[in-house]
Chains A and B, each alone.
Chain A
């Protein structure tokens, strides 16, 4: 396995855990944004970094995405948004995560997101925003760092 991001801290139970199991990421497109080439590129980058990527397809509601993320027990939801409707959609995504008691799942945003919206997105529960001009390794390390900080559950 190539995924080496897990931490080794923790209690007795965690010490016996196989820390090498791949990070699971759900890559999603929210709302009426029909451009998924970027999402597919990201899925491929994460696959090549040793992660297991569940791809949900286009035109999903935040509720669909959170239900899928819970069943798939992913560590991270990665959302690519190019449509400009990121503020209300991420707000709703955060609300659904709280409602389903799934706040242990991280939310990473990417796509076309102006910097002046970063603070508002952070308030609605987005854990990291990867700018559109980012290189592929930044996406990978951002996710690995989030998981390392939380620990495996």
Chain B
């Protein structure tokens, strides 16, 4: 059996050099923004200069991270927030991350199911992104996608992380304002005082507040807040806000809290610290990635060292140093 597919040689599309896309990105062309994000995501060497040029036009947008367990209601909340921000006249950008398959490398990107109506009616730009093996809650190119949207004039830009567990807190060094979304019925007040994901919140939101067990979750989170000081180096009071994305109940309060936090960051000077921390993490992250790419390119050399480590003639630290071209003294 065959598919019916008449050949259409005219459909072969030309490759537009990335440098030519930059002016269109800056003027907000949806096609150019979308294409540039793809090129960042695929790591096109040809696009790196264009992305560097785009980066010089960033730094205007308020970047908001939304994180929480799978099924907490992140996508639905983002859809509600798109509407709330758009009704204030904002041009909203969204990067929604879903996991790639560890087996095939493929992915089902389903966040759009919840967001397409909001995206359509509010002229928001929604981009789904697969992790492509990156751990920590984001994809490798998430921040480059944010750069492209920032340069194109979108703000706020909402990053929706993959559904996370307790420790995938990478978003904290990617966004200015972190909303941690908790769903009711998933744990007691001991869950609420554990380290990790709950600590990074600038705003706690509790989803599905139309459910009867939501007040208990709100109370557990509020109780946790009273046990000790908040984030070091900040006098921001982290609010705990119940929301219902489906009914739209109290979504505007959450939107107001997000805006208030942005004002706080700018007025208190904390924004500068966050920008520094974001910059530092991005340099480290990229350096790590470049090293990994380099190791993977020199497969033969890597294999030699893997063999030596497996046969116990060399330990992993020495192998790593040799791959880096450092001598062993670095370890001393």
Contacts and interface: CB of A to CB of B under 8 A. Distances in A.
Interface of A: 1-3, 10-11, 13-14, 16-18, 21-22, 24, 43-44, 46-57, 60, 64, 67-68, 70-73, 100-104, 106, 108, 115, 118, 122, 127-131, 133-135, 138-139, 142, 145-146, 149-153
A57 B130 contact: no
A131 B3 contact: yes
Residue from B14, B103, B106 with most neighbouring chain A CB atoms (10 Å) = B106
Given A54-B128, A150-B13, A151-B15, A46 B106 contact: yes
A134 B3 contact: yes
A46 B13 CA distance: 23
Contact of A51 (B42, B103, B106): B106
Contacts of B104: 2, 47-50
Interface of B: 1-8, 11-17, 30-31, 34-35, 37-38, 41-46, 100-101, 103-110, 112-113, 116, 119-120, 125-128, 130, 132
B47 to A, nearest CB: 9
Report, nearest first, the 10 A-B pairs whose CB atoms are least far apart: A21-B42, A128-B5, A47-B106, A104-B13, A57-B113, A73-B34, A129-B4, A142-B3, A73-B38, A50-B105
Contacts of A24: 38
Given A60-B116, A130-B3, A135-B1, A55 B109 contact: yes
Nearest to B13: A104
B146 to A, nearest CB: 15
B5 A48 contact: no
A55 B116 contact: no
Given A3-B105, A48-B101, A103-B11, 7 more contacts: A17-B45, A21-B38, A21-B42, A44-B108, A46-B106, A55-B112, A127-B11
B34 A52 contact: no
Contact of A71 (B6, B11, B34, B42): B34
24 contacts: A2-B105, A14-B46, A21-B41, A22-B107, A22-B130, A47-B106, A48-B101, A48-B104, A49-B104, A52-B109, A56-B116, A67-B119, A72-B127, A73-B38, A102-B31, A103-B13, A131-B1, A134-B1, A138-B1, A142-B3, A149-B7, A150-B11, A150-B12, A153-B16
Contacts of B107: 22, 47, 52-53
B332 to A, nearest CB: 38
Contacts of A131: 1, 3-4
Given A16-B45, A127-B11, A22 B106 contact: yes
Contacts of B1: 131, 133-135, 138
Contacts of A48: 101, 103-104, 106
Contacts of A11: 15
B84 to A, nearest CB: 20
Residue from A52, A108, A150, A151 with most neighbouring chain B CB atoms (10 Å) = A52
Contacts of B112: 54-57, 68, 72
Contacts of B38: 21, 24, 73
Contacts of A133: 1
A11 B104 CA distance: 30
Nearest to A58: B113
A132 to B, nearest CB: 11
A103 B35 CA distance: 14
B12 A151 contact: yes
Contact of B120 (A64, A73, A129): A64
B127 A127 contact: no
B125 A71 contact: yes
Nearest to B2: A138
A11 to B, nearest CB: 7
Contacts of A104: 11, 13
Contacts of A152: 15
Nearest to B101: A47
Contact of A56 (B16, B46, B113, B130): B113
Contacts of A139: 3
A140 to B, nearest CB: 10
B149 to A, nearest CB: 11
Contacts of A100: 31
Contacts of A150: 11-13
A25 to B, nearest CB: 10
Residue from B16, B17, B116 with most neighbouring chain A CB atoms (10 Å) = B116
A106 to B, nearest CB: 8
Contacts of A50: 101, 104-106
